[in-house]
Structure 1
């Protein structure tokens, strides 16, 4: 009995870097570099391209890791010390997030079996976005592989920074109608305006940014290597440029909340806060570099650019952008001076508490304004970005209409459908009674609520949504607890937080959601072990 206890409590610090770790890291490198860039025929069938790429690659890795784990468990275990073998208590013990992930899969199975549209629920391909049970099953499979086989190597994050930088650069070039990959061949003018890089439309590009950019920002804060910090900063700059060109409010929302949350998190340690503000300064400056680049192209070559919203123009075109750069630069310089004079200075616990309180007050104020302008004062004209303060059917490119009708659909659903939904990725069928009304907004149909949480509520029911929220909430909670001893935890969970925020106004699909699932799994993997603890500051 005592031997078992000692075995389960032994820290996983002596585990060797084995073949199963290497296989998983190579998989992650491919997912962070090749996967975002893969498109067999420009934008045509791009969703299916990435869907099958992910299924094929993750399927190979799941099988390979299963074989390696089998030999590690039943073989001679040469690649790790006896107490570190696969199958020990630390590996086989299930966490809250593990159970939540299994519950999510179980609900999806039940929902698919009893769906009136079983084939669509299984494949999600006929009228959906390939978010059927098969894709969800692969999500769960790769989640358990990563959480049991991950071993931190920083080259994976360097590959992420480099791979995403290429995607960002393509987006910036496409913004100027420069098409080096020939992605715009055979597209009409409207599609060219909406689609960018090798990701898809602007909303999907924003979703991609909300997964990848937070990771490179936090790695620029935590890496010990100055040369790698430069790589992360360059990637962050290109990412912010891409966010400006993506012209999507979902990305602004996700990254905005992330920036505030990270400010609160880093606010006590000057050594981290200085690097955080350095990255902010670089990103703000990149918006002006984007402006300079477009002006040069326009004046020298007569190139034109796509339109961006007023909020993005604040950073790119207005003088306010220079003011923000100046403020960020001054704060950065002051923090570096303070850190030189008083190394490792830690501020009072009251600092994050005050910042968090101010953020909470700001959120409450915004929500109160939405309620006021939506229910009390419905006549005052709200222009530009202020239009988000009035929620009605036309809100958010008629997302308001889809959300309101989604609640109506849920209210009219049978008891079973309230619990288990209509089947994964079958929103098209549930919403079809409202297609006629939807035409007044220019759409003849839709297959998503443009709110991931509402979409899950309709398609996999209350049980499915609760399971999904448990996965996300459990991941974030464990990461926060672990982050005090292992900074890699906050790096990985940053993608989870940012994506989860933008998901309020965006959709799940096999283009960017697989990357989100990878970081859910990586966050849980770090929470289970000490990987990366000594490699980051």
Structure 2
């Protein structure tokens, strides 16, 4: 029983007083439920999955907050609450989240339909109620959780299960019978325990980002002492974390969503800033690249061996890329292996050219970004790129672009310009985008696309319309400033890994929608990510 207690709560290294330890234990149990149970909870397979996950979050979070409140009021003496109040002081980034919530509240009042906006019943259930609970959850986790590896390992365990489940769905196994209950013409749109393949891709990107971050940043985590536990960290860094990353990349490839390419691209653009400065980080980065190349090769070989798959494999950029693996796999793997061998010769971990290589890399990325912006501008000006192989279709800027995302993005921006100045600032109310489009553009949308969009399939546009310019800017500046604050320091491996996963998720959110299935996990990871800064500020004061 003592071993189980240590595994669940990691009390050995908790340096806070006994009262904070109680709050940490409650939070640790909550993280277990949210990171390992929540991703699989459903009462009826894919039917009502959004509502089921919303209800699970509401119930578990309600019990969690009640437990914290009872502990604070009943167990902790009044004279001992000074430490709690000290930890509960707002950080600078917290004010941005409060600004978003205030903007969303004003938008709800302006909408004229307070009940719908509060509960989010006309959309995907992420009304003001959910966002208030998101904010409270983030605050409590960041203040009362002491950083340890157990929740990260639970999250990666759940990610492995979801990834393997999704891979088997790609090959038509349907091991749990969920897809068999869906209409035949819609079965290819669902995967794993997350439902829609875009939601599934967003969730697996979180797993890929966290496992990649743990691979690179494991060396920065606090050691457990000289009793041999340090070697366990090295084993996880060299074997277990890359293995999780490899399986998650396979799942992303078989998920058939182009959103995965955006997330992986962001991940490999962010990691060099910290990983290339040491030889160990460079080796980890090369290992992650090797995992991607091997995953593409494996998927390409599987497509050749199974030509009669029940899904369409021609529409995904990663699956298309995997079919050409024989041309690039071996040369890239040889180069990466040589680079790993060369960097391993720096036994002291230093690499004097690291900073220079980082600067050169980001200069090249800036040049490529400017080139891409120029190509997009040329596409909007009427230049035809349809004849360019593999990527040409992504530069054909019409209403049909990105499964009609071109139309709905244009419609969202046009309708935003037509709002009054108060609505432009504070929004029309959370989860009201569908009602807005239905009342103004329903017939035009059906005529142009054949379907009705109740979301712009772009989180930035979604919150620009729903929460206004003020709320949208506050929300995303909060997310990116927290991630930048953590990654700039590079002092804590768990925080940095969470930041890597969150950035990969938000890169894909540029062409995706926000739903409780993934947003709740993002908020939990945000709280875990910022917990280290609360500890640092407490020690400094």
Provide closer, same or farther for how the CA distance between residues 28 and 443 of structure 1 changes in structure 2, counting only shifts above 3 A: farther
User: 204, 212, 215: which is aligned to 2:210?
Assistant: 215
User: 528, 531, 534: which is aligned to 1:525?
Assistant: 531
- Aligned equivalents of 1:196, 1:393: Cα separation in 2: 27
Q: Which residue of 2 aligns with 1:49?
A: 52
Q: Which residue of 2 aligns with 1:404?
A: 410
Provide closer, same or farther for how the CA distance between residues 364 and 13 of structure 1 changes in structure 2, counting only shifts above 3 A: farther
> Are 2:70 and 1:74 equivalent residues in the alignment?
no
User: 424, 428, 434: which is aligned to 2:441?
Assistant: 434
> Are 2:43 and 1:34 equivalent residues in the alignment?
no
Shift of 1:142: 0.2
Q: Which residue of 2 aligns with 1:158?
A: 153
- Aligned equivalents of 1:336, 1:489: Cα separation in 2: 29
User: 456, 459, 463: which is aligned to 1:452?
Assistant: 459
- Aligned equivalents of 2:137, 2:182: Cα separation in 1: 35
Q: Which residue of 1 aligns with 2:64?
A: 61
- Aligned equivalents of 1:100, 1:318: Cα separation in 2: 46
> Are 2:120 and 1:120 equivalent residues in the alignment?
no
Three-state SS of the structure 1 residue aligned to 2:178 is coil
Provide closer, same or farther for how the CA distance between residues 522 and 441 of structure 1 changes in structure 2, counting only shifts above 3 A: farther
Report matched runs for 1:158-237 at 5 Å.
158-223=153-218, 225-229=233-237, 230-237=239-246
Three-state SS of the structure 1 residue aligned to 2:483 is helix
- CA deviations on 1:335-377 (whole Å, 9 max, x unpaired) are 2443245331233322211111111111111111011122142
More divergent stretch after superposition (424-433 vs 514-523):
514-523
Q: Which residue of 1 aligns with 2:317?
A: 311
Provide closer, same or farther for how the CA distance between residues 379 and 295 of structure 1 changes in structure 2, counting only shifts above 3 A: closer
Q: Which residue of 1 aligns with 2:517?
A: 511
- CA deviations on 1:118-169 (whole Å, 9 max, x unpaired) are 22211112x3111111111110110110111121111211111111011000
Shift of 1:231: 2.6
8 Å CA contact 2:138–2:523 kept in 1: the answer is yes
- Aligned equivalents of 1:304, 1:473: Cα separation in 2: 39
8 Å CA contact 2:217–2:496 kept in 1: the answer is no
Three-state SS of the structure 1 residue aligned to 2:529 is helix
TM-score when normalising by structure 2? 0.87
Provide closer, same or farther for how the CA distance between residues 382 and 130 of structure 1 changes in structure 2, counting only shifts above 3 A: farther
More divergent stretch after superposition (193-202 vs 302-311):
302-311
- Aligned equivalents of 1:62, 1:51: Cα separation in 2: 16
- Aligned equivalents of 1:453, 1:310: Cα separation in 2: 23
- Aligned equivalents of 2:347, 2:235: Cα separation in 1: 24
Shift of 1:396: 1.1
User: 130, 135, 142: which is aligned to 2:125?
Assistant: 130
Report matched runs for 1:296-307 at 5 Å.
298=306, 304-307=310-313
- CA deviations on 1:377-416 (whole Å, 9 max, x unpaired) are 2486456432212322221111111111111111111122
Report matched runs for 1:331-410 at 5 Å.
331-348=336-353, 349-378=355-384, 381-382=387-388, 384-410=390-416
Q: Which residue of 2 aligns with 1:14?
A: 15
Gapped regions of structure 1 (runs ≥ 5) = 1-11
Shift of 1:530: 4.7
- Aligned equivalents of 2:112, 2:166: Cα separation in 1: 40
Provide closer, same or farther for how the CA distance between residues 306 and 22 of structure 1 changes in structure 2, counting only shifts above 3 A: farther
Provide closer, same or farther for how the CA distance between residues 445 and 313 of structure 1 changes in structure 2, counting only shifts above 3 A: closer
Q: Which residue of 2 aligns with 1:3?
A: none
Three-state SS of the structure 2 residue aligned to 1:41 is coil
Shift of 1:515: 1.1
TM-score when normalising by structure 1? 0.88
Q: Provide the aligned length of Structure 1 versus Structure 2.
A: 508
Shift of 1:41: 1.0
Gapped regions of structure 2 (runs ≥ 5) = 1-12, 219-229
Shift of 1:326: 4.2
Provide closer, same or farther for how the CA distance between residues 357 and 293 of structure 1 changes in structure 2, counting only shifts above 3 A: same
> Are 2:469 and 1:462 equivalent residues in the alignment?
yes
Shift of 1:473: 2.8
- CA deviations on 1:424-454 (whole Å, 9 max, x unpaired) are 1000121121121221354442211111111
Shift of 1:476: 2.2
- Aligned-residue Cα RMSD (Å) equals 2.5
Report matched runs for 1:237-248 at 5 Å.
237-248=246-257
Q: Which residue of 2 aligns with 1:419?
A: 425
Three-state SS of the structure 1 residue aligned to 2:45 is strand
Q: Which residue of 2 aligns with 1:9?
A: none
8 Å CA contact 1:31–1:515 kept in 2: the answer is yes
Q: Which residue of 2 aligns with 1:86?
A: 84
More divergent stretch after superposition (182-191 vs 12-21):
12-21
- Between 1 and 2, higher relative CO (CA 8 Å, sep ≥ 6) is seen in 2
